[in-house]
């Protein structure tokens, strides 16, 4: 059954404000906990490896629930699912604030991650299903700005709370923001269903849960356990085997949990490839710059957040401009500009020295992040606008699933490269006759950061020829341009 279209015009601004609150508060929780890890370790009198599961468990649940959002959005409507996810997120945040030990905090963070994993694909699907096509580019740039503003202020906001109040407020402050979001969703997001599935694909659900969980745990702990350890290899084998079963099941099922047939849309597949390449390169800056600042230059977490703040704000501020440019030129021009700027901003970061100025890092990160703003939204929108509205929920779920897995993959690979290159450079210094252990450590870590940034630059550059040949958009059928809302 389909809910008939409403004769009332779509109120774009209130819808986007409602989406902004949901997207902002969910992404904020991804970026605030990183700085709190040492504080939580001390407060709960536990090990760093144990506390790290407050982040790992959250990311694991996020990545696991992203691919199944499309089915539940179609089954119950995206408005109801959005309200459910935001309400669950709010309850989980309260539970996190009330956590009495590290084990309870980990459990509640996993619950919070499950609801957070639904919010991004829900909000993306609503944009593409409710907003008129001629307004989608601007709407998705507004959506992306909310996702980028949260990590921009997250580290600084987190550092201030940890220094002046307590870690509990990292979660308590979610509650009023989420409550406003829930109220706006209830009032302004229209109720609609474009394609109601007949039955639930239990086999697909089980296989994707096992596959996602196994792969994400292996990627998160591979560098710690060893990439050739039995734990890592077993998880990779199980994850890949169940991934194969999931793909086979979804292609064969009459009512798939995640409709992988969207990959047959050439423009979507190419855009997803570009997004994947950019995502891998993107995580180098997210991971490497804080490592360099805190471990080599002994910068505090709060000051690290302040150093990264201008670049993140620049990325968020540029989004509306990118949306306007996309509307006029299509994806190729902003993609090319974005990838070139990413490379221009990343290559100089491969020339870091121990005493490099913070102004140099800030300037490089601003150029790099402006490039990311020019590249990420056009890549995402170029693919999603080629997907018929009735399948956009599945496409957004698939896109977010791929991003989550590749984010974990990128961090795992860059961590492993950083470790191996540090050991290699340290060995070279010792063979050259160096004896000052502190000097050896500082120089070898700095040089390894430079090496990994150079690799990230090359990865970003690979996306350029792909972006230049992205397929042209086929014009949608007339019936696809109307929003079915009530």
Mean pLDDT of 411-415: 77
Mean pLDDT of 295-306: 81
**Confidence at residue 483, expressed as pLDDT on a 0 to 100 scale:** 40
What does the domain layout of the chain look like in residue ranges?
12-201+253-480, 202-252
**Among 392, 145, 409, residue whose Cα is nearest residue 268:** 392
**Confidence at residue 485, expressed as pLDDT on a 0 to 100 scale:** 36
Residue 44 predicted with pLDDT over 90: no
Summarize pLDDT for 432-469 with one digit per residue, the tens. Answer: 887 778 888 888 888 988 998 998 899 889 888 888 88
Q: Provide the percentage of residues in the chain whose pLDDT is more than 70.
A: 93
Reduce the DSSP state of residue 214 to 3 states and report it.
Answer: helix
Residues 6+ apart with CB under 8 A from 417: 448, 451, 452, 455
**Confidence at residue 360, expressed as pLDDT on a 0 to 100 scale:** 94
* Res. 176 pLDDT band, cuts 50 70 90: very high
Dihedral sign for Cα 364, 366, 372, 375, please. negative
Q: Rounded distance, CA 454 to CA 351, Å?
A: 9
Contact yes or no for 22/119 (Cβ under 8 A): yes
Mean pLDDT of 347-362: 92
Summarize pLDDT for 242-255 with one digit per residue, the tens. Answer: 999 988 988 888 77
Reduce the DSSP state of residue 96 to 3 states and report it.
Answer: helix
Mean pLDDT of 381-403: 84
**Confidence at residue 348, expressed as pLDDT on a 0 to 100 scale:** 93
Residues constituting the chain: 486
Torsion angles phi and psi, residue 31, rounded to 5: -95, -20
Q: Rounded distance, CA 476 to CA 111, Å?
A: 39
Summarize pLDDT for 199-236 with one digit per residue, the tens. Answer: 777 888 889 889 888 887 887 777 778 888 888 899 99
Residue 475 predicted with pLDDT over 70: no
Summarize pLDDT for 248-275 with one digit per residue, the tens. Answer: 988 888 778 888 888 888 888 998 988 8
Q: Rounded distance, CA 182 to CA 188, Å?
A: 10
* Res. 478 pLDDT band, cuts 50 70 90: very low
Compare 54 and 105 and report the one with higher pLDDT. 105
Greatest Cα-to-Cα distance within the chain, rounded to the nearest angstrom: 79
**Confidence at residue 158, expressed as pLDDT on a 0 to 100 scale:** 80
Judged by average pLDDT, the poorest of 185-189, 281-285, 312-316, 430-434 is: 281-285
Residue 357 predicted with pLDDT over 90: yes
* Res. 84 pLDDT band, cuts 50 70 90: very high
Mean pLDDT of 287-294: 79
Residue 61 predicted with pLDDT over 50: yes
Residue 169 predicted with pLDDT over 50: yes
**Rounded to an integer, what is the distance from CA 327 to the centroid of its chain?**
24
Contact yes or no for 116/82 (Cβ under 8 A): no
Reported as type and span, the H/E element at residue 309 is helix 301-329
**Confidence at residue 244, expressed as pLDDT on a 0 to 100 scale:** 92
Contact yes or no for 346/372 (Cβ under 8 A): no
Residue 290 predicted with pLDDT over 90: no
Q: What is the C-alpha R_g of the chain? A: 22
The CATH number that domain 12-201+253-480 falls under is 1.20.1250.20
**Among 319, 375, 331, 366, residue whose Cα is nearest residue 346:** 366
Which residue bears the tokens 């004769």? 7
**Confidence at residue 134, expressed as pLDDT on a 0 to 100 scale:** 78
Residues 6+ apart with CB under 8 A from 292: 352, 445, 446, 449
Residue 116 predicted with pLDDT over 60: yes
Summarize pLDDT for 2-27 with one digit per residue, the tens. Answer: 554 444 566 788 888 888 888 888 88
Q: Rounded distance, CA 333 to CA 343, Å?
A: 16
**Confidence at residue 7, expressed as pLDDT on a 0 to 100 scale:** 46
Q: Rounded distance, CA 43 to CA 224, Å?
A: 24
Measured CA angle at 126 (ends 124, 128), to 5 deg: 75
The DSSP secondary-structure symbol of 228 reads T
Mean pLDDT of 32-49: 78
């Amino acid at each position: 059954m389909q809910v008939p279209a409403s004769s009332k015009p779509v109120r774009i601004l209130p819808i986007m404000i409602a989406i902004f609150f949901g997207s902002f508060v969910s992404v904020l929780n991804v970026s605030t906990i990183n700085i709190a890890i040492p504080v939580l370790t001390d407060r709960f009198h536990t090990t760093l490896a144990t506390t790290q599961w407050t982040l790992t468990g959250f990311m694991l649940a996020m990545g696991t629930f992203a691919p199944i959002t499309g089915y539940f959005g179609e089954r119950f409507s995206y408005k109801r699912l959005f309200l459910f996810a935001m309400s669950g997120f709010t309850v989980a945040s309260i539970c996190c604030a009330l956590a009495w030990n590290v084990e309870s905090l980990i459990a509640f963070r996993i619950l919070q991650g499950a609801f957070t994993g639904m919010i991004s694909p829900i909000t993306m699907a609503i944009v593409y299903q409710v907003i008129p096509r001629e307004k989608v580019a601007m709407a998705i740039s507004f959506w992306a700005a909310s996702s980028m503003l949260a990590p921009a202020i997250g580290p600084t906001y987190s550092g201030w709370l940890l220094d002046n109040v307590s870690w509990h407020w990292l979660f308590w402050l979610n509650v009023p923001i989420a409550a406003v979001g829930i109220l706006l969703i209830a009032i302004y997001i229209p109720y609609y269903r474009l394609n109601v599935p007949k039955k639930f694909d239990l086999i697909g659900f089980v296989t994707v849960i096992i596959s996602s969980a196994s792969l994400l745990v292996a990627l998160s702990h591979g560098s710690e356990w060893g990439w050739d350890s039995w734990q890592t290899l077993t998880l990779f084998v199980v994850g890949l085997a169940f991934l194969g079963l999931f793909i086979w099941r979804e292609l064969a099922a009459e009512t798939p949990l995640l409709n992988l047939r969207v990959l047959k849309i050439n423009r979507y597949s190419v855009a997803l490839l570009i997004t994947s390449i950019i995502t891998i390169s993107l995580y180098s800056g997210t991971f490497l710059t804080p490592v360099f600042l805190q471990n080599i230059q002994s910068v505090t977490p709060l000051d690290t957040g302040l150093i990264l703040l201008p670049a993140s704000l620049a990325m968020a501020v540029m989004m509306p401009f990118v949306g306007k440019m996309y509307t006029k030129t299509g994806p190729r021009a902003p993609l090319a500009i974005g990838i070139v700027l990413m490379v221009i901003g990343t290559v100089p970061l491969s020339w870091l020295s121990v005493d490099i100025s913070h102004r140099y890092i800030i300037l490089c990160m601003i150029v790099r992040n402006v490039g990311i703003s020019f590249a990420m939204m056009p890549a995402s929108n170029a693919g999603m606008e080629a997907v018929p509205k009735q399948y956009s929920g599945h496409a957004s779920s698939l896109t977010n699933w791929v991003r989550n897995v590749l984010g974990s993959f990128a961090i795992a690979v860059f961590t492993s490269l950083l470790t191996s290159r540090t050991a290699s450079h340290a060995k070279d210094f010792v063979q050259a006759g160096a004896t000052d252990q502190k000097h050896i450590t500082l120089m070898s870590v700095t040089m390894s950061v430079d090496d990994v940034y150079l690799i990230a630059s090359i990865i970003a550059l690979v996306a350029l020829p792909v972006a230049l040949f992205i397929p042209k958009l086929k014009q949608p059928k007339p019936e696809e341009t109307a929003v079915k809302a009530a």
